[in-house]
C-alpha cells in the first residue's frame, strides 16, 4: 500500500478537500471533517497555507450554517423536527436543542461545534427563534474559526508524528484495512441495535386522537402534559388546559394528581419519542394510566382544523 498519493492529495487539493468535507458534515452528513483537517494540516508547507485551509473550513461552515439558519427562519421548528428524525434516539431532540440554545444564547453557536450533533441543529433553532442575522453570522464565524483552528493547529503541530503514522499505515495497510472494516461494521451494528432498542421502547400503548377527544368531553378529562418548550408553544400554539412541563420536572407537575387518574403526554418529537419516554417514566412512578398521544402535537393541531 503506497501512501504517496494520499500525501499528494493533501498537499495539492487540501483546500478543496477541507471545504467539501466541512460543508458536507455541517449540512448533516455523517462524514467527520476533523480527521481530514488534521491530516491536511500535517502536510501544510507553512502558516500561510494553514491560514488558507482555515479560511476554506470557516467559509464552508458558514455556508452550511446559513442554509440551516435561513431554513429555520422560513419553516420554523419543522426543520428541526426533520433533523431529529435522522437521530438514532430522537427522544427529546427538539427540547434538548432549544434548552441549550436558550440557556447559552449566542455562545451556543460559538462552542456548539464541539458538541456532536448540536452543530447542525443549532442554526435552525437560531433562525426559528428569530436571532438577528448579524449576531448569528458573527457567532457562527467565531465558532467555526475556533473549532477548525484547533484541528488545523493540532495537525500542524504534530506533523512528524502524523508522517510516522502514515508510514506505519503504509507498511501495515492490509491489516489496518481489515481492522477498519471491522470497526465500521461494529459502529453500524451498534447504531442499528440502538435504533431497534428505541423502537421496542416506543411500542408502549398510545391513545389515539379520537379517544383523546372523547376523554376530554367525559367526566374525567385527562391531565395533559405538554412537553414542548415555551418558545415552541409560542411559535406553534398552545394546547388548552395543558401543562407545559420539562422532562426533568414531570413528577413535580403532578402534585395533587391521583395515581389512577388518566394522563396524556404530548410532544412535537419524531415517533412521539419524548411523549413515550415521559409516559414510561410516569408509569414507573405508579401513574398507571399515563399514555402518549399518537401523532403528538401535529395530530392535535390537525384535529382542530
List the Cα angle 279/251/103 in 5-degree steps: 95
Contact 33, 21 (CB under 8 A): yes
pLDDT tens column, 188-226: 777 677 667 766 666 688 999 999 999 999 999 999 999
Q: Which three cell numbers stand for residue 146?
A: 475556533
Is the distance from CB of 259 to CB of 288 less than 8 angstroms?
yes
| pTM of the entire predicted model | 0.65
Residue 127 CB contacts under 8 Å (≥ 6 apart), including other chains: 68, 69, 70, 71, 72, 73, 74, 79, 136
Phi, psi of 90 (to 5 degrees): -85, 25
Is there a contact between 124 and 83 (Cβ–Cβ < 8 Å)?
Answer: yes
The cell numbers describing 301, all together, are: 393541531
User: Quick check: 76 and 128 in contact, CB under 8 A?
Assistant: yes
Write out pLDDT tens, residues 113-164: 887 667 777 888 788 778 899 999 999 999 999 999 999 998 888 877 776 6
Amino acid at each position: 500500500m503506497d501512501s504517496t498519493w494520499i500525501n499528494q492529495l493533501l498537499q495539492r487539493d487540501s483546500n478543496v478537500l477541507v471545504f467539501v468535507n466541512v460543508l458536507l458534515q455541517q449540512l448533516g452528513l455523517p462524514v467527520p471533517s476533523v480527521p481530514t483537517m488534521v491530516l491536511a494540516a500535517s502536510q501544510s508547507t507553512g502558516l500561510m497555507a494553514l491560514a488558507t485551509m482555515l479560511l476554506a473550513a470557516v467559509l464552508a461552515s458558514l455556508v452550511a450554517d446559513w442554509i440551516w439558519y435561513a431554513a429555520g427562519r422560513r419553516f420554523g421548528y419543522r426543520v428541526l423536527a426533520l433533523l431529529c428524525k435522522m437521530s438514532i434516539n430522537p427522544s427529546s431532540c427538539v427540547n434538548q436543542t432549544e434548552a441549550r440554545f436558550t440557556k447559552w444564547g449566542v455562545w451556543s453557536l460559538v462552542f456548539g461545534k464541539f458538541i456532536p450533533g448540536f452543530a447542525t441543529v443549532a442554526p435552525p433553532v437560531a433562525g426559528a427563534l428569530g436571532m438577528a442575522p448579524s449576531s448569528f453570522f458573527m457567532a457562527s464565524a467565531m465558532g467555526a474559526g475556533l473549532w477548525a483552528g484547533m484541528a488545523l493547529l493540532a495537525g500542524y503541530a504534530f506533523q512528524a508524528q502524523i508522517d510516522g503514522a502514515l508510514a506505519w499505515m503504509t507498511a501495515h495497510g492490509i491489516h489496518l484495512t481489515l481492522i477498519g472494516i471491522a470497526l465500521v461494521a461494529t459502529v453500524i451494528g451498534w447504531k442499528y441495535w440502538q435504533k431497534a432498542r428505541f423502537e421496542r421502547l416506543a411500542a408502549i400503548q398510545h391513545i389515539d386522537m379520537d379517544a383523546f377527544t372523547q376523554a376530554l368531553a367525559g367526566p374525567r378529562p385527562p391531565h395533559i402534559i405538554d412537553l414542548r418548550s415555551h418558545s415552541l408553544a409560542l411559535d406553534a400554539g398552545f394546547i388548552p388546559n395543558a401543562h407545559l412541563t420539562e422532562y426533568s420536572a414531570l413528577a413535580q407537575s403532578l402534585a395533587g394528581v391521583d395515581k389512577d387518574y388518566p394522563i396524556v403526554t404530548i410532544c412535537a418529537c419524531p415517533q412521539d419519542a419524548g411523549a413515550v419516554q415521559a409516559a414510561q417514566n410516569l408509569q414507573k412512578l405508579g401513574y398507571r394510566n399515563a399514555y402518549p398521544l399518537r401523532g403528538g402535537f401535529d395530530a392535535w393541531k390537525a384535529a382542530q382544523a
